[in-house]
Amino acid sequence: MFIDKVIIRKPSCLTKGMINLNELKLIEDALLIAVNTFLNNSTPNATFCLSDLVGNNNMPWPEPFSIIHNKYVEAGYDYHDAFVLSGRDMGWILKNILNSDTTKIYAVPNRIYRNGKQVLHYRKI
């Protein structure tokens, strides 16, 4: 649950029918494990973002994270566009699971620039 109200939306790969609910559940479970692993192995006030959890530009992503990227490639998107779109979808999936996690409260303390792009960082409070 976020301190600030966040508008949650479905990732576009789900609304376009590229992945099914079972694949989405696999990705959500793996992301939640990655979040908990990061939090258990970091300092109490550490912030994290999606790239900390799935490997940033280290493509190919491991399964099940690569499912979304592969579906975009199969749909005819080039490798780079598929990478950008799958990253956006993974960001929305991360927001959804953090918002639905009732055991912890997350805050978005700031936006940090990485490689010239604004990146949301989260922290557990």
The string of DSSP letters for 5-65 reads -------HHHHTTSS-HHHHHHHHHHHHHHHHHHHHTS-TT--B-HHHHHTTT-SSPPTTT
State pLDDT tens for residues 23-51.
Answer: 989 999 999 888 888 888 888 878 888 88
pTM above 0.85, yes or no: no
The answer to whether 12 and 89 have CB atoms below 8 angstroms apart is: yes
Domain ranges of the chain: 12-124
